[in-house]
Amino acid sequence: MKRYYVYILKCSDNSYYTGFTNNIDRRFDEHNYGVNKECYTYNKRPLELVFCTEFNDVNQAIAFEKQVKG
């Protein structure tokens, strides 16, 4: 069964980033290592994972991410 995650990162400037992924470990590493220079978190490292919740349904995960982002 595939799993999906909605997560919140606390950035070094005390801002927060909310995201969605199907592999939380890989995605957190991508944020922390600065894989994408265009990403909001690129210049805000180091990062701390402060929240993560798991879903079995991709649509529920996407809806929850949108709810968190307001």
Q: Which amino acid is located at 42 in the chain?
A: Y
Please give the model's pTM, rounded to 2 decimal places: 0.94
Q: What is the band of 68 on the pLDDT scale with cuts at 50, 70, 90?
A: very high
Q: What is the band of 37 on the pLDDT scale with cuts at 50, 70, 90?
A: very high
Does the pLDDT of residue 29 top 90, yes or no?
A: yes
What domains can be seen in the chain, in order of their start residue?
1-21+30-56 (3.40.1440.10)
Does the pLDDT of residue 1 top 90, yes or no?
A: no
Q: For residue range 6-25, list pLDDT tens digits in order.
A: 999 999 999 999 999 999 99
Does the pLDDT of residue 36 top 90, yes or no?
A: yes
Task: Decide: residue 70, CB within 10 A, 0-12 exposed, 13-18 middle, 19+ buried.
Answer: exposed
Q: What's the rounded Cα separation, in Å, for the pair 59 and 62?
A: 5
